[in-house]
Each structure stands twice: as structure tokens, then as C-alpha cells.
């Protein structure tokens, strides 16, 4: 099978969006083998931005074959050299940060300011991982046997399949591509269908930075058509996935059948506890950011706000008043933009309606924003709901939108029990001035990230991020821990003979 080159000239200018976003395979722009494309819709306007190639199993087969052939030479380069090339990608990204941010803003509808913040985080990830090329530590120890040296070194896995969500698109690419490549793998990224632009740009810059042909591939298309064949391909040694639990579970089962490694970074239903001694203004500020930033499209979104009875009424008033003042739109002065597509919007609003029908009270929001300012964009009003039970659907399923629920509890014990009563365990936060309470929370909260007097945030390039239970399968992204996902260990013994010195 051959790869057809895109009809447009090879596009190296990430500042101009091609009319058809091509795959990037073996150093070439490529159309899908089947020749099909799909529309990329602007979530802020509902209008088409461009078309995108629609890959299938045929494209995956071509890409894996090329990646497999290219990987040994890449693994043969020193890890310091690989780090240098990754640093070059980060430098090029820094040079073109405005253009990349523009693509992120365009494809997600978020403000340029937020898109720039995300782009800068992706660049930092590049610099952090590139530096790990000079700290690619193993372990040395002693053997029980005389004259036998023992050490542990890392080795690459082969071809890594990377599948990402659309919420923070360029950061999601960076969080996986940089460590996968540093460890000596060839990487094939299946971009999120809603955010093809920044993923395409990363591939362009990787090529320009000197990543050898075939070592880094970008495929576009839908999950079941382009993602699933990557998961099923026998030559893909590791699948690193960021997305929903439902798809994560299918990936674990499917890749598990062939005993391939899977790193799953999945959903959250993150609690933020407001104690009776909290600085309420600070708690409101962080609850707003946790629930509504990025239109609530964060795995770490604060979607369960658990408040002590003693301050519940006051906090509710302050929180609802502040939420009503949030500005929704695409400008830098707005607080958040649209959700990523119409189907997501319809589904989250339907959940709110089901909760309402079951007796929940919607304190503010609960609807799409319409009118001249919003046009046909997928804008959802900041939504705060109360009177929901811990076992209600809305308490246990992730909505991935600007929607949060309030829960009234009598004390710390009830708060921590409710916080832990969840299928998820990604991030959590507590607001208190009491050090003892904070320490008890840190000890007892069942989550991958715990924060005191802050938001349900926690994703910095040098720190591990991931969750418990249905939030993941135990691996961590970012930090040096990411290297464990993309490499395997080799225990080495060297017998030597002092008599022959
Ligand atoms: P999704 O699972 O629908 O899609 C994610 C990606 O998987 C997309 O690229 C999609 O094309 C692909 N996909 C879908 N079906 C597939 C299949 N059968 N085989 C292979 N790939 C397939 O998720 P979404 O709704 O786009 O993203 C939101 C989810 O991502 C939320 O649950 C959110 O919490 C999660 N998320 C988690 C983290 C984390 O680090 N834990 C970070 C960001 C987002």
C-alpha cells in the first residue's frame, strides 16, 4: 500500500491553515488512503474552518509499518541527541508560539490568552523532557556474587500509539509526544477529531526540528475508524490514551488481550471542600476557576463543591453571584469559551434536565447561551446545581462542561466521606485555615492530586499527574514518571575476572 501525497504543497507554515489538514507519515503530508475527509467545525461559530483527512485502518497499517522501520535508528541515537532534537522542537514552538496559540484558539474557541497559556505549558514540557536526555538515570547496585556488576537501564518499547482528547490540544500532544520520543520510541499520534490544527502544527515543527522521517506520525480521524486500529495493531507496543472512561475501558480490554502496555488518563468528578473556617472569598475564587475555566472541559474540573453547613448559605450566595458575573465568549476579557462540539453540549444539557426532573434545583445557568453575541456557537451558561444526592447520575458521571453541583455536609468526616464516595479519584481540594484538617485531608483523600486552599488543578510539566480508580490505570503523565510509561527496564549483569586484569 502506498501513501498518497497531499495535493497541496508540503505545508511548513503553521501560521496558515491548509484547506485540508493532512496526515504526517514518513516525513510526508499524506491524504487518507480511502481519500475521505471530514469537516472541522469552529465551536465558537458553528461554521466550517477546514477539512481534515479521515484515516482508517489502512492508514494506520501504513503508518505503523513506517514507524516500525524507523524506530531502531532513533533508538540507536544517544538519548542526549534525542533530547537535543526535542529541545529544537520546543525552540521552534517558542518562536511560533503566537501562531500555535492562534490555531488552538481557532479550533477550540478559547481565548487567545488561554491558548497562549496552554501553548507555553506545552513548550515548557518540551524543555523539561529534553533536559531528561541528560538525566536518563538507571540504577547501579551490587550483586550477591563476587566479580559481577549489576545495573538497571531503560530501553524503548518500540512503536507508541498516542490518542488524545481535545480539551487542551497542544498540551495534550506535548504531554505524550515528548516523553514517548525521548525514550527512543517511534510515536504515532491520533489527534482528537475536534482539534486537528495544533496536532498538525506539532508534526510540521517536529519535521523541521530534525525528527527523522517515520519517527513521528500524526494521524487524523475518528476514534473508531483511526484510533481503534492503532489500539488493535500487534506492532504497537504501548497505547497512551487521554480521554473518557468508556473508551479507556475498551482500550484496556483490547490492548490487554495482546498484553500491550496501556497508560490511561481518564475522567474525574473532582471534589472541592469548603470548611467552616475557610477564607470564603478565596474558596469562591478557586471554586469558580475549578468549575468553569476552559468551559469546565478539564478532567480536573471541580464538579462537586462540598460545603460545611455552617457556611453553606453564605458560600452559595457568593458563588452564585460570582458565577452570574462570569463572561462567556472568545475574547481575552471573557472567562471561558464554547464547549467543543454540539453533541457534547446537547448531552451535558440533557443531564442537567434529567437532574432537574429528579428534583435538583438549578441555581443559575442550565442552558445554552443564544443571541447575537453567541450566534451558532456552542456556549453554555455557568451552571450551579443543588439538592442532588451522592448517588444521582449527575453526581457520579462526568459532564465535561461548565456545570457544578453543591453539596451540604455537617462536618469534616461527612465531607471526606462524600469526597471519597466516587467512581473517580483524580484531583481534590480543601479550603481551611486549620493545618490539622489540611493534613488529615491530604492523608485521607483518595486522589492522584490533593490541593490545599487552591483549585482542583495540578498539572505541571515536572510533576506527575494521574488518578485512582476510574480516573486511570495507575500510570502518571509528566514528571520523570512519564518516562516509566514509555520505557521498559533491562537488568544487566557483567561478570568480570580480576585474575585477567
Ligand atoms: P473520548 O474518549 O471520546 O475521545 C478521546 C480520544 O479517543 C479521541 O481522540 C477519540 O477520537 C479517541 N477514541 C474514541 N473512541 C476510540 C476508540 N474506540 N478507539 C481508540 N480511540 C478512540 O473523550 P473526549 O470526550 O473527547 O474527551 C474528554 C475526556 O477526556 C473526559 O473524560 C476527560 O476527563 C478526559 N481527559 C482526561 C485527562 C487526564 O489526564 N486524566 C486529561 C484530559 C481529558
Give the CATH number for residue 123. Answer: 3.40.605.10
Expressed in angstroms and rounded, the spacing between residue 147 Cα and the centre of ligand 1 is 51
Q: Give the structural domain span for 479.
A: 8-266+472-489
Considering the domain architecture, whether residues 135 and 261 belong to the same structural domain is answered as yes
Active site residue 265: yes
Considering the domain architecture, whether residues 200 and 244 belong to the same structural domain is answered as yes
Number of domains in the chain: 2
Nearest in space to 274 (alpha carbons), one of 237, 250, 310, 222: 310
Nearest in space to 169 (alpha carbons), one of 89, 270, 100, 230: 100
Compute the 3-state secondary structure of the chain and give helix, strand, coil in percent, each to the nearest 5. Answer: 40, 25, 35
CB 171 within 8 A of CB 122: yes
Considering the domain architecture, whether residues 311 and 442 belong to the same structural domain is answered as yes
Considering the domain architecture, whether residues 24 and 81 belong to the same structural domain is answered as yes
Question: Could you identify the atom of ligand 1 that is nearest to the CA of residue 268?
Answer: 34
Q: What is the DSSP letter of 163?
A: E
Expressed in angstroms and rounded, the spacing between residue 411 Cα and the centre of ligand 1 is 36
Expressed in angstroms and rounded, the spacing between residue 1 Cα and the centre of ligand 1 is 29
Q: Whose CA is nearest to atom 15 of ligand 1?
A: 223
CATH classification of the domain holding 376: 3.40.309.10
Of 192, 227, 243, 250, the one to substitute when testing ligand 1's pocket (max ligand atoms within 8 A of C-beta) is: 243
- pLDDT per residue, tens digit, the chain (501 aa), is 444 444 444 556 898 999 999 999 999 999 999 999 999 999 999 999 999 999 999 999 999 999 999 999 999 999 999 999 999 999 999 999 999 999 999 999 999 999 999 999 999 999 999 999 999 999 999 999 999 999 999 999 999 999 999 999 999 999 999 999 999 999 999 999 999 999 999 999 999 999 999 999 999 999 999 999 999 999 999 999 999 999 999 999 999 999 999 999 999 999 999 999 999 999 999 999 999 999 999 999 999 999 999 999 999 999 999 999 999 999 999 999 999 999 999 999 999 999 999 999 999 999 999 999 999 999 999 999 999 999 999 999 999 999 999 999 999 999 999 999 999 999 999 999 999 999 999 999 999 999 999 999 988 999 999 999 999 999 999 999 999 999 999 999 999 999 999
Has residue 242 been placed in a domain? Answer: yes
Strands laid side by side in the 236-242 sheet:
28-30, 23-25, 216-219, 186-190, 159-163, 236-242, 261-265
Which amino acids bring their CB within 6 angstroms of ligand 1? 163-167, 190, 192-193, 222-224, 227-228, 231, 242-244, 247, 250, 265-268, 299, 398, 400
Active site residue 299: yes
Give one DSSP letter per residue of 316-349, joined into a string: HHHHHHHHHT--BSSSTTSSB---S-HHHHHHHH
Amino acid at each position: 500500500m502506498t501513501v498518497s501525497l497531499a495535493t497541496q504543497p508540503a505545508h511548513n507554515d503553521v501560521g496558515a491553515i491548509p484547506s485540508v489538514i493532512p496526515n504526517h507519515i514518513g516525513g510526508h503530508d499524506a491524504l487518507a488512503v480511502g481519500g475521505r475527509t471530514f469537516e472541522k467545525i469552529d465551536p465558537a461559530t458553528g461554521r466550517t474552518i477546514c477539512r481534515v483527512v479521515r484515516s482508517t485502518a489502512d492508514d494506520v497499517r501504513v503508518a505503523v509499518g513506517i514507524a516500525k522501520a524507523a524506530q531502531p535508528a532513533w533508538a540507536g541515537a544517544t538519548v542526549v541527541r534525542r533530547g537535543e532534537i526535542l529541545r529544537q522542537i520546543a525552540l521552534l514552538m517558542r518562536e511560533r508560539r503566537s501562531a500555535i496559540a492562534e490555531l488552538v484558539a481557532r479550533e477550540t474557541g478559547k481565548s487567545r490568552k488561554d491558548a497562549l497559556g496552554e501553548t507555553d505549558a506545552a513548550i515548557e514540557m518540551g524543555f523539561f523532557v529534553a533536559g531528561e536526555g541528560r538525566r536518563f538515570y538507571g540504577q547501579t547496585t551490587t550483586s550477591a556474587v563476587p566479580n559481577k556488576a549489576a545495573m538497571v537501564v531503560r530501553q524503548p518499547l518500540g512503536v507508541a500509539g498516542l490518542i488524545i482528547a481535545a480539551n487542551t490540544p497542544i498540551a495534550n500532544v506535548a504531554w505524550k509526544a515528548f516523553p514517548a520520543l525521548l525514550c527512543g520510541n517511534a510515536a504515532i499520534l491520533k489527534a482528537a477529531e475536534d482539534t486537528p490544527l495544533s496536532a498538525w502544527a506539532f508534526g510540521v515543527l517536529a519535521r523541521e526540528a530534525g525528527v527523522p522521517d517515520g519517527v513521528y506520525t500524526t494521524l487524523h480521524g475518528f476514534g473508531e475508524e483511526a484510533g481503534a486500529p492503532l489500539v488493535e495493531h500487534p506492532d504497537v507496543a504501548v497505547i497512551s490514551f487521554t480521554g473518557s472512561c468508556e473508551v479507556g475501558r475498551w482500550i484496556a480490554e483490547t490492548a490487554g488481550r495482546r498484553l500491550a502496555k496501556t497508560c490511561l488518563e481518564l475522567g474525574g468528578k473532582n471534589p472541592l471542600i469548603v470548611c467552616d473556617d475557610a477564607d470564603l472569598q478565596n474558596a469562591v475564587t478557586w471554586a469558580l476557576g475549578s468549575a468553569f475555566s476552559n468551559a469546565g472541559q478539564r478532567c480536573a474540573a471541580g464538579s462537586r463543591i462540598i460545603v460545611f453547613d455552617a457556611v453553606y448559605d453564605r458560600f452559595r450566595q457568593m458563588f452564585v453571584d460570582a458565577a452570574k458575573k462570569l463572561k462567556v465568549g472568545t475574547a481575552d476579557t471573557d472567562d471561558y469559551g464554547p464547549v467543543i462540539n454540539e453533541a457534547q453540549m446537547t448531552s451535558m444539557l440533557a443531564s442537567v434536565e434529567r437532574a432537574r426532573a429528579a428534583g435538583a434545583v438549578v441555581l443559575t445557568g442550565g442552558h445554552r447561551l443564544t443571541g447575537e453575541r453567541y450566534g451558532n456557537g456552542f456556549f453554555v451558561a455557568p451552571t450551579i446545581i443543588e439538592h442532588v444526592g451522592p448517588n444521582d447520575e449527575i453526581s457520579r458521571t462526568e459532564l465535561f462542561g461548565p456545570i457544578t453541583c453543591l453539596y451540604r455536609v455537617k462536618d469534616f468526616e461527612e465531607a471526606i466521606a462524600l469526597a471519597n464516595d466516587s467512581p473517580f479519584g483524580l484531583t481534590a481540594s480543601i479550603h481551611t485555615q486549620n493545618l490539622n484538617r489540611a493534613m488529615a485531608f491530604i492523608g485521607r483523600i483518595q486522589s492522584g492530586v490533593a490541593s490545599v486552599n487552591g483549585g482542583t488543578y495540578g498539572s505541571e510539566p515536572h510533576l506527575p499527574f494521574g488518578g485512582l480508580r476510574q480516573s486511570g490505570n495507575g500510570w502518571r503523565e509528566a514528571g520523570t514518571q512519564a518516562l516509566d510509561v514509555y520505557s521498559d527496564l533491562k537488568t544487566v549483569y557483567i561478570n568480570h575476572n580480576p585474575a585477567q586484569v
